[in-house]
């Protein structure tokens, strides 16, 4: 574990630091919407999952979906956060065609979940990573809006209300995130937690988990002053980067945005507080709306809904039913598999990775499995820019390869060759070993035969090795070469030593 | 045969039960009466064919001995209630020809008990008004006229169509709704009985919303007993309305003639407002006397925050309305005026769809919720509301029900108050407190003004204390012996 590095950007006037707080919108895993019984199924035909409530027909009233509340509580518990026994729904009023009610039901003044904290594991390329604590400000429940479709017709906008009323959890962090990598790691960790809890499927491609990042820049030392006093005046003016759903874009967007703000300030200008969108094609952020155009949302308590009053016993019941969380998983990986904290952290930072690893390690040498997963496989994936889900080698296939190493069928060196062939699509490890005759030779008779031939053919080397035992390596190399790398290196060593008398 | 339309709901149900007449006969009598009374403009949708179909079905049920509590009784439905397959617009232009595919819980409760729907009743647009002058379909004319004067009078509002149709015998009884007095004030203006139950007794599902925390369904009927019969069926626990109370609805009919012996009736001194007319004051004193004679104990009580009720109401109600009415944007249903861009379409649709009074309230509501004003207006109004509620809680430690005038004046003429919104809002001065505190309130006709117009008294009960309202209301009805009906001029 290394210390938390300070991320700095060089400007004309010296170094700058970045401060970020994130708002994650996570779609609650639930079959029905937050205030109606309509389905939340993805991929249905437009406007097919819409109830009278979702379409805001006259006289329709919202009725809270208890399961969504339970999911929010579960998530709050997973964030080690305060569960508020009293919370309330407010209306956030604004007009837009994909917002049928003319208001979003949200929780403004009294969220269901208060302050919490998560440990975020940051990977550092080529080095050991580190962990930092990120404080959670709050989590609240709210409705999603529908979708406006602008590109179906040059003259008209179409509206799909399937998403209208779907339950979202908005999870707001404190401004504790200090680098683009930390921002991505935070999202990754939060995603791992909600997936482990089963409260959100974490599908970022479908937009089921997306992040808004508030970015500001400041001079070294200012952030510490802010943490001491809690006074935001020590920090720069922030811009909100909206709706990001890829770790890579999050980092690119922050880098770009921080540099943009530094340039403005160093040029004698002022950063305007505004909402910006990241354009992944151009690699830049652009203004979406400024503070001046910001809506006055006219929040007020929704009179159609009673305050949510939770019973302690119910919260405890949910707490008892919590599944294993990533941090608990990491502790277990350290304990049960004997992994280093760092390896365990890397493997549990992402639910898919943890699942993958456990499948690889099942009934096998766990440390060996961890090395192969984190170094060989992740190394390859990183190099190729692939996600784990796109890996050409499945967990069971990798497990098969590791099994061959463990039972001495192949050496670690041969295994790397086999792994490359697996990536190339040649199939299962055992089949590749069979097809290319890569099986390790442990038959001492066969090795002795090769050794005898080589000793007989090289009298000068034999004479030399008596004086200089370190030249034994030359014999080893010759035997390995002659056996096509298949001879068991330990057996070769032992036989050579015996025959050469050293 | 007597005029069937003159029957009370109770008598009509008796007649149906004893087969003195069929529901078809009864319904036909009302259909004809409605046709003959179009000048009153009480019904804005007439559904005679549907009514007769329902009547036939009712007669068939009754023949099989399977009659419900209201079986065969023809009723009028305020246009605020969504009725499946029948145009529902809350008398607003913005809803265009909107025809719901669903039924409100309150009306469904009526049909489930066999009631017959005669049509939809006129009202102030979105229930915003005290004179029925803001309806898209024009004014409802009060069947009552001043003695020796043919000037048209308002039936009050917003349930003006409900009150006028009951007073003119165009239906046995009607549904209405009350946000600040919209049941009780028109009932008082037309010599009918109207009750707003405790907030949460009746479901708001399928009622076009005005101000969610204040809106409550209730009936307007000819007698206290009729209002008890109808209210019982209208109320129910409804899982589709989160503010609906999960409690059993009592049978209030038995309370009506129970008398008030031993009851303590509170008289709030703050309701003796400045400039209260002698006529109204005299009626109030008369009411006190009647109840005393009937064996009730009169106690003086104080509701100290009463004077803040009206201003608080005219902040809370428009605030909620400004949000509730945001859905009328021309995007999915109702009227739409195409603009050059999205904002243009919104502006055109809402400017032409909403009437002036609704626009006024939407602007007030938007203003009081806006950033920088919220604390000074909305939040403060909510605090006032809490104080008003506490006033009642304390007062009810000393009494079982509270007697007040229903309105500061009898029915007024068209245009008399529509020029000054504040003057119009003052109509609600005695009624809004019950809405703000969520309490039941009944208006009962108790006498005639010097110029021959009905005047009403109001009885406010504790939360869930409708029974006390019915007991006191019944006693006042008995003592007043109010039998006057408007002279038929239409």
How many other CB atoms are found less than 10 A from the CB of residue A443? 12
Annotation says B135 is catalytic: no
Report the chain B residue with the minimal C-alpha distance to residue A297.
B370
Cβ contacts of A58 on chain B, cutoff 8 Å: 82, 88, 90, 95, 98, 100, 208-209, 327
Distance CA B83, CA B103 (A): 5
pLDDT above 90 (res A145): yes
Residues 356-385 of B with CB under 8 A from A: 366, 369-371, 374, 378
Out of 3.90.25, 1.10.10, 1.10.132, 1.10.3470, the CATH code matching A444-500 is 1.10.10
CA B148 to chain A, closest CA, distance in angstroms equals: 43
Please write the tens of the pLDDT for every residue from B250-309. Answer: 999 999 999 999 999 999 999 998 888 899 999 999 999 999 999 999 999 999 999 999
B214 → chain A, closest CA residue: A303
From the candidates B11, B78, B417, B462, give the one annotated as an active-site residue: B78
Task: Enumerate the domain spans of chain A.
Answer: 8-287, 324-435, 444-500
Tokens of B68: 């419900």
Q: Helix, strand or coil for residue A86?
A: strand
Please check whether residue B333 touches A, CB under 8 A: yes
- Closest Cβ–Cβ partner in B95, B100, B327 for A101: B327
Residue B158 falls in the annotated catalytic set: yes
Beta bridge partners of A135: A117
Domains of chain B: 1-490 (3.90.1300.10)
Residue spans of alpha helices (H) in A267-311: none
Other Cβ atoms less than 10 A from the Cβ of A390: the count is: 9
Residue A337 vs residues A106, A332, A340, A382, A408: alpha-carbon distances, Å: 44, 8, 9, 24, 21
Per residue in B314-330, pLDDT (tens digit) is 999 999 999 999 999 99
| Residue A496: closest CA among A485, A466, A486 | A466
Taking CA atoms, what residue in A is nearest to B370?
Answer: A298
User: Cα(A409)–Cα(B338) distance, rounded to whole angstroms?
Assistant: 77
Q: Do A300 and B209 touch (CB under 8 A)?
A: no
**Annotated catalytic residue B302:** no
Report cis status (omega within 30 of 0) of the bond before B158: yes
CB contact under 8 A, B243 and A306: yes
pLDDT tens digit sequence for B54-89: 999 999 999 999 999 999 999 999 999 999 999 999
Q: With an 8 Å Cβ cutoff, are A62 and B242 in contact?
A: yes
pLDDT tens-place values along chain B, 490 residues long: 569 999 999 999 999 999 999 999 999 999 999 999 999 999 999 999 999 999 999 999 999 999 999 999 999 999 999 999 999 999 999 999 999 999 999 999 999 999 999 999 999 999 999 999 999 999 999 999 999 999 999 999 999 999 999 999 999 999 999 999 999 999 999 999 999 999 999 999 999 999 999 999 999 999 999 999 999 999 999 999 999 999 999 999 999 999 999 999 999 999 998 888 899 999 999 999 999 999 999 999 999 999 999 999 999 999 999 999 999 999 999 999 999 999 999 999 999 999 999 999 999 999 999 999 999 999 999 999 999 999 999 999 999 999 999 999 999 999 888 888 888 888 899 999 999 999 999 999 999 999 999 999 999 999 999 999 999 999 999 999 999 999 999 9
Shortest distance between the Cα of A248 and any Cα of chain B, in A, equals 35
Instruction: Give the minimum alpha-carbon distance from B237 to chain A in angstroms, rounded to a whole number.
Output: 14
Encoded tokens for B55: 């009547």
């Amino acid at each position: 574990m290394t210390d938390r590095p300070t991320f700095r950007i060089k400007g004309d006037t010296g170094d700058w630091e970045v401060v970020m707080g994130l708002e994650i919108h996570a779609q609650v895993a639930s079959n029905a919407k937050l205030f109606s019984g309509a389905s939340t199924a993805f991929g249905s035909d437009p406007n097919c999952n819409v109830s009278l409530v979702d379409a805001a027909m006259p006289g329709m009233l919202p009725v809270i979906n208890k399961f969504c509340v339970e999911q929010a509580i579960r998530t709050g518990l997973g964030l080690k956060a305060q569960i508020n026994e009293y919370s309330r729904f407010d209306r956030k009023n604004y007009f837009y065609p994909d917002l049928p009610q003319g208001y979003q039901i949200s929780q403004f003044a009294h969220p269901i979940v208060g302050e919490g904290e998560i440990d975020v594991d940051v990977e550092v390329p080529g080095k050991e990573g580190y962990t930092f604590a990120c404080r959670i400000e709050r989590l609240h429940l709210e409705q999603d809006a529908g979708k406006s479709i602008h590109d179906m017709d040059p003259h008209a906008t179409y509206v799909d209300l399937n998403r209208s009323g779907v339950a979202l959890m908005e999870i707001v962090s404190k401004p504790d995130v200090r680098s683009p990598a930390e921002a991505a790691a935070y999202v990754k960790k939060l995603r791992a937690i909600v997936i482990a809890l089963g409260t959100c499927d974490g599908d970022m491609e479908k937009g089921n988990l997306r992040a808004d990042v508030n970015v500001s820049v400041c001079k070294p030392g200012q952030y510490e002053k802010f943490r001491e006093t809690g006074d935001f005046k020590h920090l720069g003016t922030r811009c909100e980067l909206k709706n990001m759903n890829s770790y890579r874009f999050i980092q690119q967007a922050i880098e770009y945005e921080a540099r943009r703000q530094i340039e403005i300030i160093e040029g004698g200008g002022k950063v305007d507080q505004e909402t910006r969108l990241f354009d992944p094609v151009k690699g830049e952020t652009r203004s979406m709306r400024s503070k001046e155009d910001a809506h006055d949302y006219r929040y007020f308590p929704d009179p159609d809904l009673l305050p949510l009053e939770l019973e302690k016993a119910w919260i405890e019941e949910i707490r008892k039913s919590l599944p294993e969380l990533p941090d608990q998983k990491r502790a277990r990986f350290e304990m049960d598999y004997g992994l280093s904290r760092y390896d365990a952290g890397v493997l549990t930072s992402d639910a898919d990775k943890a699942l993958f690893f456990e499948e690889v390690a099942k009934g096998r040498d766990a440390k060996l499995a961890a090395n192969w997963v984190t170094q060989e496989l992740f190394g390859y994936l990183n190099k190729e820019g692939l996600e784990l889900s796109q890996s050409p080698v499945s967990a069971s296939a990798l497990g098969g390869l590791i099994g061959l190493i463990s039972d001495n069928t192949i050496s670690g060196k041969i295994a790397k060759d086999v792994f490359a062939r697996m990536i190339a699509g040649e199939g299962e490890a055992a089949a590749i070993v069979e097809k290319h005759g890569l099986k390790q030779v442990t038959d001492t008779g066969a090795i002795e035969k090769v050794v005898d031939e080589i000793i007989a053919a090289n009298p000068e080397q034999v004479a030399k090795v008596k004086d200089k035992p370190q030249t034994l390596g030359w014999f080893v190399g010759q035997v390995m070469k002659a056996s096509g790398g298949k001879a068991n290196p330990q057996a070769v060593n032992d036989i050579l030593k015996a025959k050469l008398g050293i | 045969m007597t005029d069937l339309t003159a029957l009370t709901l109770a008598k009509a149900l008796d007649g149906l039960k004893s087969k003195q007449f069929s529901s078809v006969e009864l319904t036909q009598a009302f259909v004809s009466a409605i046709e003959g009374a179009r000048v009153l403009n009480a019904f804005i949708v007439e559904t005679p064919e549907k009514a007769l179909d329902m009547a036939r079905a009712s007669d068939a049920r009754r023949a099989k001995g399977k009659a419900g509590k209201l079986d065969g009784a023809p009723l009028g439905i305020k246009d605020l209630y969504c009725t499946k397959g029948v145009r529902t617009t809350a008398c607003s232009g913005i809803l265009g020809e909107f025809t719901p595919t669903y039924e409100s819980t309150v009306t469904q409760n009526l049909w489930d008990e066999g009631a017959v729907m005669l049509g939809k009743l006129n009202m102030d647009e979105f229930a915003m008004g005290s004179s029925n002058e803001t309806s898209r379909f024009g004014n409802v004319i009060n069947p009552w006229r001043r003695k020796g004067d043919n000037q048209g009078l308002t039936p009050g509002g917003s349930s003006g169509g409900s009150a006028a149709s009951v007073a003119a015998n165009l239906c046995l009884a009607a549904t209405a709704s009350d946000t600040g007095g919209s049941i009780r004030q028109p009932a008082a203006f037309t010599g009918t009985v109207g009750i707003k139950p405790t907030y949460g007794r009746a479901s708001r599902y399928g009622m076009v919303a005005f101000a969610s925390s204040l809106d409550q369904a209730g009936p307007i009927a000819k007698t206290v007993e009729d209002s008890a019969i109808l209210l019982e069926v209208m109320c129910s626990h409804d899982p589709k309305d989160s503010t609906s109370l999960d409690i059993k609805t009592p049978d209030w009919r038995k309370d009506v003639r129970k008398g008030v012996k031993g009851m303590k009736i509170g008289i709030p001194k703050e309701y003796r407002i400045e400039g209260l007319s002698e006529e109204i004051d005299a009626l109030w004193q008369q009411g006190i006397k009647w109840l005393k004679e009937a064996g009730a104990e009169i106690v003086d009580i104080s509701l100290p925050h009463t004077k803040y009720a009206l201003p608080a109401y005219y902040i809370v109600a428009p605030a909620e309305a400004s949000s509730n009415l945001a859905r009328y944007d021309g995007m999915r249903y109702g009227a739409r005026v195409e603009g050059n861009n999205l904002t243009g379409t919104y502006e055109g649709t809402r400017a032409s769809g909403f009437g002036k009074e609704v626009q006024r309230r939407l602007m007030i509501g938007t203003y009081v919720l806006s950033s920088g004003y919220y604390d000074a207006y909305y939040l403060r109004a909510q605090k006032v509301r809490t104080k008003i509620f506490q006033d009642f809680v304390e007062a009810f430690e000393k009494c079982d029900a509270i007697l007040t005038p229903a309105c500061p004046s009898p029915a007024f003429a068209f245009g008399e108050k529509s020029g000054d919104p504040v003057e119009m809002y003052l109509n609600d001065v005695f009624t809004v407190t019950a809405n703000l505190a969520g309490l039941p309130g009944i208006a009962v006709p108790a006498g005639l003004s010097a110029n021959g117009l009905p005047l009403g008294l109001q009885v406010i009960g504790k939360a869930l204390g409708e029974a006390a309202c019915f007991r006191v209301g019944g006693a006042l009805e008995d003592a007043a012996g109010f039998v006057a009906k408007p002279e038929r001029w239409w």
